[in-house]
Chain A
Amino acid sequence: MDKITIAWIALSFFAGFTIYLLPILSRWLALGVGIISLIYGIKIFFLSSPLDIHLLGSFGVNLLADELSSFFILTNALVTIAVIIYCWQSSKTKFFYTQIIILHGSVNATFICVDFISLYVALEVISIAAFLLIAYPRTDKSIWVGLRYLFVSNVAMLFYLIGAILVYQANNSFNFAGLTNSPTEAMALIFLGLLVKGGIFIPGLWLPLTHSESETPVSAMLSGVVVKAGVYPLLRCALMLEEIDPIVRFFGVCTALLGVGFAVLEKDTKRMLAFHTISQLGFVLAAPVVGGFYALTHGLVKSALFLIAGVLPSRNFKQLQYQPIDSKIWLVLVVASFSISGFPLLSGFGAKVLSSKNFLPWQTIAMNIAALGTAISFAKFIFLPRQKLISNSAEIAESDEQKKIQTGFWWAMIILLGGLIGANVFYYQAYTLQNTVKPLITIILGWVAYLLIFKKLAIKLPRNFEKFDHLIGTMSLMSILIFWILWTQLKFSI
């Protein structure tokens, strides 16, 4: 199994460069890599004991693959396959597929590494590949959005590097386990780097612009899996070290509330989805033990939603109210929205129930508010007008043109939504009467709140915090905040 793991990691990079040399095979190779990851993820899930690999002794690379990683790998594989199929008939060049597969490989690498330097390398490769994907259309806007992303994440990673060497100084090893013995500032700096990279809490406010301005398949990829590369190490640390667990949970709650607060008031479809990603990452962090399952369902549903948002006639919710959408698209949109709001029969429900069982008492109220906010923000999608028959011939011609692009879209939907229904098997115990009633009440309350209040509400939130200088500036403030939290926490525990 050791050799298979290493070969699997190397495969995606090898395939990525091969695609560039053999453009004819590009789509097949990319799809093949996705399927191999899927098989590997399933295999890891059924391993009896976690796979622990030490390469080159204690100074070398440590890898760890267990159930938590398998959930993340499965998410990555399914989303990548769906995105490739979505792009199958489009005129994307070999360059695009190369970057997708390199991104896929490096995200996989973050999901199995347990030392800070391997993680650093994987995260930096992710930044580069993601930048190239964001800047793929080569417009000024896309280049600026990509540049901003690269800049913010690189500055964060510099702080992270300082933290990593402090861990090494204290332990003579870069392993995650050394975090407990290391000085507080080391933890604070590493946390800062990971929070920025994962798009969590205030330092994660770079995320809405980046995810909403990229092309549809790229935003699906970014929101579905790439942010999880920053979240996974935090989960892993929280599971390995008890002291860190409450801090990760605290950030989870803050993020969930912050993201949902913005999402409820947002009037643009893609920006709303991006803010909602922030809040869902909060849910993942709020219950580290079961975060993997939540991440899987969120990755699937969010990439599906981004792909759907790409085929809607407009990005503005106000305009969408007057432009009825095709009922087939409406149907998939509703299925995805129901899943994310936690409606029974879809695995979003199981994930929500499982997470809420693992919340600590002080988290429960805040997380219920966040769940209500989710229901409110997705009511915006559910209550969009729809139409069954297209009346005049001009529209039929137009829709035929759309359909040509959309065969790939439907296959991607089948994979993602099928995955959502299939993922129910992981936690079928959730289906009891008591568990079912609570999400239903939340959803109904959310809909009522939406129809009565939020539909008419027109508050424009300032976007000041998303300016470049502020993004960098908040990093320094956050590092102080994290340091302070850690310092008080650890002082009391000692």
Chain B
Amino acid sequence: MNFRRLLAVWTARNLEFLRDRSTLVFNLLFPLVLVVAFAVIFGGEARSVFKVGVIAAPDATLDARLHPFLGTRHVDFYAVAAAGLDEAIRNVERHQADLLLDLRDGTRYWVNTDSPKGYLAEKLLLQAASGAAHREPVTGSAVRYVDWLLPGILGMNMMFSCLFGVGYVVVRYRKSGFLRRLSATPLTAIEFGAAQILSRLLLTISVTTLVYALVALLVPFRNEGSALLLLLIAIVGALSMISLGFLLAARFASEELANGVINLASWPMMLLSGVWFSLEGAPQWLRMAAEALPLTQMLHAARAVMLDGAGLVQVLPQLGLLASMTALFMGIAAAGFRWRAD
């Protein structure tokens, strides 16, 4: 490994990226759109003070005639189907609903004893119902969806940037013949790959940090752990995904084919790595498959830090796995790397 050669290719790639205005703007604009969407969906003033799920007869209207509590103002009462009871109780456990009310057979309610808002909502209910209600206490700490989703969204954006950013460029270089020209110099495949990967790493980490900071300004979210550790996880995770992008682009000379293959790799991660929802209820084999995806490991580690305040030692298994993936992807890519298009 010759660092001067690596630095030469890295510098040239950075210059190319910075001067390619349209690509640069897109790379900054897309995450910004995410931030704005986030701020609109999760930010701003809460519309209702309390959220209460209500299970009643299917055709009943949720108003004071059904139960005096339902006449309380500034409370968001929403109907819950009887079949959704378990899910609705989980929402109470996660503080996503303050109370769950079942009016089908007397008044029965679920309240999270760890939730301050649940405590207040319970007071209001008992006042309105004159104490005639059956209490079902549950416990659980609050994880708002926004707290859970943010690492997923950031990770997904990184994943696309990593896979397509490096994959497309390498295929384009090969197709144009630039790689063939480089192959006639002392540059090695490892040096070339490392330069591409480090250039993309710099970009994706800068953009992700920027987005993280902007979201933090607009929407308060939970980070129980160290921001530095989070940065380390982002770097190690990004390296594994960029290496995967480099591996996928190691041989192709057609952008269409590369596009298809990279999509084939990115969609499973988008759906199975737990960006949008947890796979806890999914079949065992699917969950096992999802564990093999680098984004899954990165999100496990990031959520452990942000939601549970995990330290370096707790996320070492994920970091180790990600680093091994990087080494594996890079090894295969360098061994099978093609400089020529034909």
Do A and B pair up? The answer is: no
Residues of B within 8 A of A (CB): none
Interface residues of A (CB under 8 A from B): none
